[in-house]
Amino acid sequence: MKSILLFGITLFILTPSLSQQKDTISTKGKFDLIYNTSSSYKEFKVIRKSRFTSLRNKVSDSIEQLNNELDVKIEKINKLEQDLNNINKVLLGSIAEKTTAIRMRNSMFFFGIELTKSSYKIISWMIFILLVGVLSFFIFKYKNSYKVILSAKENLQEAEKELITFKKKSIESDQRLRRQLQDEINKQRGI
Protein backbone atom coordinates (compact mmCIF):
# COMPACT_ATOMS: atom_id res chain seq x y z
CA MET A 1 0.00 0.00 0.00
CA LYS A 2 2.87 2.29 0.73
CA SER A 3 4.21 1.70 -2.73
CA ILE A 4 0.89 2.68 -4.29
CA LEU A 5 0.73 5.78 -2.14
CA LEU A 6 4.30 6.66 -3.04
CA PHE A 7 3.53 6.02 -6.68
CA GLY A 8 0.39 8.19 -6.51
CA ILE A 9 2.25 11.11 -4.88
CA THR A 10 5.04 10.85 -7.41
CA LEU A 11 2.48 10.76 -10.15
CA PHE A 12 0.64 13.73 -8.69
CA ILE A 13 3.85 15.75 -8.55
CA LEU A 14 5.05 14.69 -11.95
CA THR A 15 1.72 15.12 -13.76
CA PRO A 16 1.95 18.92 -14.19
CA SER A 17 5.55 18.67 -15.31
CA LEU A 18 4.63 15.77 -17.63
CA SER A 19 1.77 17.71 -19.17
CA GLN A 20 4.19 20.52 -19.96
CA GLN A 21 6.63 18.03 -21.45
CA LYS A 22 3.92 16.31 -23.48
CA ASP A 23 3.46 19.34 -25.66
CA THR A 24 7.09 19.28 -26.73
CA ILE A 25 7.57 15.49 -26.81
CA SER A 26 7.05 13.54 -30.02
CA THR A 27 4.24 11.02 -30.39
CA LYS A 28 6.63 8.10 -29.89
CA GLY A 29 8.00 9.85 -26.82
CA LYS A 30 4.47 10.24 -25.44
CA PHE A 31 3.77 6.52 -25.91
CA ASP A 32 7.06 5.69 -24.20
CA LEU A 33 6.23 8.07 -21.35
CA ILE A 34 2.82 6.46 -20.78
CA TYR A 35 4.37 3.01 -20.98
CA ASN A 36 7.09 3.95 -18.47
CA THR A 37 4.71 5.68 -16.08
CA SER A 38 2.08 2.95 -16.22
CA SER A 39 1.80 0.36 -13.49
CA SER A 40 2.06 -3.37 -13.94
CA TYR A 41 -0.54 -5.95 -13.10
CA LYS A 42 0.82 -9.45 -13.39
CA GLU A 43 2.48 -9.36 -16.81
CA PHE A 44 0.22 -6.59 -18.20
CA LYS A 45 0.78 -2.87 -18.11
CA VAL A 46 -2.06 -0.85 -16.74
CA ILE A 47 -2.61 2.61 -18.15
CA ARG A 48 -4.85 5.20 -16.62
CA LYS A 49 -7.89 5.93 -18.73
CA SER A 50 -7.37 9.66 -18.43
CA ARG A 51 -3.83 9.39 -19.78
CA PHE A 52 -4.93 7.02 -22.51
CA THR A 53 -7.78 9.33 -23.53
CA SER A 54 -5.49 12.32 -23.37
CA LEU A 55 -2.93 10.52 -25.55
CA ARG A 56 -5.63 9.32 -27.94
CA ASN A 57 -7.05 12.86 -28.22
CA LYS A 58 -3.61 14.33 -28.75
CA VAL A 59 -2.73 11.67 -31.33
CA SER A 60 -6.03 12.14 -33.17
CA ASP A 61 -5.53 15.92 -32.98
CA SER A 62 -2.02 15.48 -34.36
CA ILE A 63 -3.33 13.20 -37.10
CA GLU A 64 -6.12 15.67 -37.90
CA GLN A 65 -3.64 18.53 -37.91
CA LEU A 66 -1.30 16.55 -40.18
CA ASN A 67 -4.25 15.70 -42.45
CA ASN A 68 -5.19 19.38 -42.58
CA GLU A 69 -1.60 20.32 -43.34
CA LEU A 70 -1.51 17.57 -45.96
CA ASP A 71 -4.74 18.89 -47.52
CA VAL A 72 -3.31 22.42 -47.56
CA LYS A 73 -0.09 21.16 -49.13
CA ILE A 74 -2.04 19.11 -51.69
CA GLU A 75 -4.05 22.23 -52.56
CA LYS A 76 -0.80 24.17 -52.89
CA ILE A 77 0.66 21.43 -55.08
CA ASN A 78 -2.48 21.41 -57.25
CA LYS A 79 -2.37 25.19 -57.53
CA LEU A 80 1.34 25.05 -58.38
CA GLU A 81 0.65 22.36 -60.99
CA GLN A 82 -2.10 24.54 -62.47
CA ASP A 83 0.25 27.51 -62.48
CA LEU A 84 2.96 25.37 -64.04
CA ASN A 85 0.54 24.15 -66.72
CA ASN A 86 -0.53 27.74 -67.41
CA ILE A 87 3.11 28.83 -67.57
CA ASN A 88 3.87 25.92 -69.91
CA LYS A 89 0.95 26.94 -72.16
CA VAL A 90 2.17 30.53 -72.22
CA LEU A 91 5.74 29.33 -72.82
CA LEU A 92 4.64 27.08 -75.67
CA GLY A 93 2.65 29.97 -77.14
CA SER A 94 5.59 32.32 -76.89
CA ILE A 95 7.92 29.68 -78.36
CA ALA A 96 5.50 29.25 -81.27
CA GLU A 97 5.35 33.02 -81.74
CA LYS A 98 9.14 33.20 -81.58
CA THR A 99 9.60 30.46 -84.18
CA THR A 100 7.00 32.14 -86.39
CA ALA A 101 8.77 35.48 -86.01
CA ILE A 102 12.15 33.90 -86.76
CA ARG A 103 10.70 32.11 -89.77
CA MET A 104 9.11 35.33 -90.99
CA ARG A 105 12.39 37.20 -90.42
CA ASN A 106 14.36 34.57 -92.30
CA SER A 107 11.89 34.29 -95.17
CA MET A 108 10.48 36.52 -97.88
CA PHE A 109 7.48 36.34 -100.14
CA PHE A 110 8.28 36.22 -103.85
CA PHE A 111 5.24 36.18 -106.14
CA GLY A 112 3.15 34.87 -103.23
CA ILE A 113 5.57 32.03 -102.47
CA GLU A 114 7.34 31.99 -99.13
CA LEU A 115 11.08 31.52 -99.60
CA THR A 116 14.01 31.53 -97.24
CA LYS A 117 16.38 34.47 -97.57
CA SER A 118 19.09 32.30 -99.09
CA SER A 119 16.65 30.92 -101.70
CA TYR A 120 15.43 34.44 -102.40
CA LYS A 121 19.02 35.64 -102.88
CA ILE A 122 19.77 32.74 -105.21
CA ILE A 123 16.64 33.38 -107.26
CA SER A 124 17.34 37.14 -107.34
CA TRP A 125 20.91 36.55 -108.55
CA MET A 126 19.70 34.07 -111.13
CA ILE A 127 17.17 36.60 -112.44
CA PHE A 128 19.85 39.31 -112.42
CA ILE A 129 22.30 37.07 -114.31
CA LEU A 130 19.53 36.08 -116.73
CA LEU A 131 18.65 39.73 -117.35
CA VAL A 132 22.33 40.64 -117.82
CA GLY A 133 22.64 37.70 -120.24
CA VAL A 134 19.56 38.79 -122.19
CA LEU A 135 20.82 42.39 -122.24
CA SER A 136 24.25 41.20 -123.44
CA PHE A 137 22.57 39.11 -126.13
CA PHE A 138 20.54 42.08 -127.37
CA ILE A 139 23.57 44.37 -127.26
CA PHE A 140 25.53 41.78 -129.26
CA LYS A 141 22.68 41.46 -131.76
CA TYR A 142 22.38 45.26 -131.98
CA LYS A 143 26.11 45.62 -132.64
CA ASN A 144 26.00 42.89 -135.27
CA SER A 145 22.96 44.43 -136.93
CA TYR A 146 24.63 47.86 -136.76
CA LYS A 147 27.71 46.40 -138.47
CA VAL A 148 25.47 44.77 -141.07
CA ILE A 149 23.68 48.08 -141.60
CA LEU A 150 27.01 49.94 -141.94
CA SER A 151 28.31 47.40 -144.44
CA ALA A 152 24.99 47.56 -146.29
CA LYS A 153 25.26 51.37 -146.42
CA GLU A 154 28.83 51.08 -147.72
CA ASN A 155 27.70 48.52 -150.28
CA LEU A 156 24.83 50.83 -151.24
CA GLN A 157 27.16 53.76 -151.66
CA GLU A 158 29.53 51.63 -153.74
CA ALA A 159 26.59 50.40 -155.77
CA GLU A 160 25.39 53.97 -156.27
CA LYS A 161 28.88 55.01 -157.35
CA GLU A 162 29.05 52.06 -159.71
CA LEU A 163 25.59 52.95 -160.97
CA ILE A 164 26.63 56.52 -161.54
CA THR A 165 29.80 55.43 -163.34
CA PHE A 166 27.78 52.86 -165.27
CA LYS A 167 25.26 55.53 -166.22
CA LYS A 168 28.07 57.83 -167.30
CA LYS A 169 29.68 55.05 -169.30
CA SER A 170 26.37 54.03 -170.78
CA ILE A 171 25.53 57.63 -171.61
CA GLU A 172 28.96 58.05 -173.16
CA SER A 173 28.66 54.80 -175.07
CA ASP A 174 25.12 55.72 -176.03
CA GLN A 175 26.34 59.12 -177.19
CA ARG A 176 29.19 57.48 -179.06
CA LEU A 177 26.83 55.06 -180.67
CA ARG A 178 24.47 57.85 -181.62
CA ARG A 179 27.33 59.79 -182.91
CA GLN A 180 28.49 56.86 -184.99
CA LEU A 181 24.92 56.29 -186.14
CA GLN A 182 24.58 59.92 -187.08
CA ASP A 183 27.89 59.80 -188.83
CA GLU A 184 26.76 56.72 -190.74
CA ILE A 185 23.45 58.36 -191.52
CA ASN A 186 25.26 61.44 -192.68
CA LYS A 187 27.59 59.30 -194.79
CA GLN A 188 24.71 57.44 -196.26
CA ARG A 189 22.93 60.67 -197.08
CA GLY A 190 25.96 62.30 -198.33
CA ILE A 191 26.96 59.74 -200.83
Q: Sorting pLDDT into bands at 50, 70 and 90, what band is 22?
A: very low
The secondary structure element, H or E, covering residue 45 is strand 44-46
pLDDT at residue 16, as a whole number: 45
- Beta bridge partners, 116, equal 107
Tell which wins on pLDDT, 10 or 137.
137
Tell which wins on pLDDT, 125 or 60.
125
Give the 3-state secondary structure of residue 108: strand
pLDDT at residue 136, as a whole number: 96
Out of 11-20, 27-36, 154-163, 167-176, least confident range? 11-20
Q: Sorting pLDDT into bands at 50, 70 and 90, what band is 5?
A: very low
Model confidence at 181: pLDDT above 50? yes
Out of 31-35, 66-70, 105-109, least confident range? 31-35
Share of the chain above pLDDT 90, in %: 41
pTM, rounded to two decimals: 0.41
Contact 67, 99 (CB under 8 A): no
